[in-house]
């Protein structure tokens, strides 16, 4: 893709609502979430733990969570957070979520055999936030790309029905400006936390540039106050962090039963 075409994609796909700083409405309506893919931190896990601990998010999401990491992850974070939701798998679909917010409900459901983790959390002001976390394999084949369309279409329909704040997080293995992601966000009524993206070379490898395939999306009940990537050992990107608040915009709903 040419640089001009990439810029056009980014212009159309980026979240222009982040252009101006959001006003903090209530400290108790704010929360932070961080997402890490364990394949990115496994080489320097103990060193990266120190960085993650400094980030200290209210909600901490690990993906590609396998038995290989279970003892280290649980042993380190179960003394820091009061609640852990664990979805352990031997493949890449495993997840672990830590938080000190009360967990009101939790479940895992399948969409075309793709596991999706859902939590309902109570933030300090007493309101509820729905966290939906998903991992998608890289779309390396035509068949998998077609399967992904079905998964994201049904998932978008599910998310769009929510009448409460929703945070959607995951390693989706699509860049933000890919048509698949643009269509998914539009159908699910989600916003992208990334304000913009500037390609950069990864690990000083001049043949490859870092492209974001991990995302935090949010719906209209939330404002994004800040978003940034997190660099770990040797300045290698290991995760992303976002800060959000429940907004006070009036929501108007109509019902045929009224």
Distance CA 121, CA 32 (A): 13
Nearest to 80 by CA among 94, 60, 106: 60
pLDDT value of residue 15: 53
Residue 210 pLDDT more than 90? no
pLDDT single digits (tens) 108-157:
999 999 999 999 999 999 999 999 999 998 888 898 889 999 999 999 99
Question: In terms of CATH architecture, what is 25-246?
Answer: 4-Layer Sandwich (3.60)
Q: What's the pLDDT band for 2 if we cut at 50, 70, 90? A: very low
pLDDT number for residue 35: 98
Q: Over the range 130-165, which residues count as b (16 or more CB within 10 Å of their CB) and which as e? A: bbbbbbbbebeeeeeeebbeebbbebbeebeebeeb
Q: What is the average pLDDT score of the chain? A: 85
d(CA 37, CA 155): 21
Predicted local distance difference test score (pLDDT) of residue 234: 75
Distance CA 193, CA 242 (A): 7
pTM of the predicted structure, to 2 decimals: 0.86
Pairwise CA distance, residues 177 & 182, whole Å? 6
Measured distance CA(13)–CA(15) in Å, rounded: 7
Once rounded to an integer, what is the mean pLDDT over residues 77-87? 95
Residue 42 pLDDT: 77
Give 205's pLDDT tier (boundaries 50, 70, 90).
very low
Q: Does the pLDDT at position 18 exceed 90?
A: no
Whether 12 has a pLDDT exceeding 60, the answer reads no
In this prediction, residues 219-232 reach a mean pLDDT of 94
For 36, residues 6+ apart whose C-beta sits below 8 A from its C-beta are 48, 52, 60, 61, 62, 63, 230, 238, 239
Of 63 and 7, which is predicted with more confidence? 63
Widest Cα–Cα separation across the chain: 61
Domain borders along the chain are 25-246
Q: Are 30 and 243 in contact (CB under 8 A)?
A: yes
Written as one string, the DSSP assignment of the chain is: --HHHHHHHHHHHS-GGGSSPPPP--GGGEEEEEEEEHHHHGGGHHHHHHHHHHH--SEEEEES--HHHHHHHHHHHTTT-SEEEEE--SSTT-EEEEESS-EEEEEEEEETTEEEEEEEEE-TTS-EEEEEEE------SHHHHHHHHHHHHHHHHHHHT--S-EEEEEE-SS-TTSHHHHHHHHHHT-EES-S----EESTT-TT-EE---EEEEE-TTEEEEEEEEEE-GGG-EEEEEEEEEE--PPP----TT-
Checking phi first, is residue 179 left (phi over 0); if not, alpha (psi -120 to 50) or beta? alpha
Mean pLDDT of 17-37: 79
């Amino acid at each position: 893709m040419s640089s001009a075409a990439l810029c056009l994609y980014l212009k159309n796909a980026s979240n222009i609502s982040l252009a101006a700083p959001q006003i903090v409405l209530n400290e108790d309506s704010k929360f932070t979430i961080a997402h890490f893919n364990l394949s990115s931190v496994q080489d320097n896990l103990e060193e990266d733990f120190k960085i993650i601990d400094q980030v200290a998010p209210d909600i901490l999401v690990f993906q590609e969570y396998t038995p290989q990491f279970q003892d280290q992850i649980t042993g380190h974070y179960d003394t820091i957070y009061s609640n852990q939701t664990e979805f352990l798998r031997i493949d890449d679909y495993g997840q672990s979520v830590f938080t000190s917010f009360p967990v009101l409900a939790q479940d895992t459901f399948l969409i075309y055999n793709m596991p999706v983790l859902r939590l309902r959390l109570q933030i300090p002001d007493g309101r509820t936030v729905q966290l939906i976390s998903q991992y998608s394999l890289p779309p390396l084949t035509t068949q998998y790309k077609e399967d992904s369309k079905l998964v994201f279409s049904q998932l978008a329909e599910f998310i769009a029905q929510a009448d409460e704040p929703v945070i959607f997080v995951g390693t989706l293995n699509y860049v933000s400006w890919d048509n698949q992601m643009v269509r998914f966000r539009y159908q699910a009524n989600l916003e992208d936390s990334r304000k913009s993206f500037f390609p950069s070379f990864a690990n000083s490898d001049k043949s490859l540039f870092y492209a974001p395939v991990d995302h935090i999306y949010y719906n209209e009940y939330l404002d994004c106050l800040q978003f940034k990537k997190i660099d770990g050992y040797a300045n290698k990107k290991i995760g992303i962090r976002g800060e959000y608040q429940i907004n006070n915009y009036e929501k108007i709903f109509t019902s045929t039963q009224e």
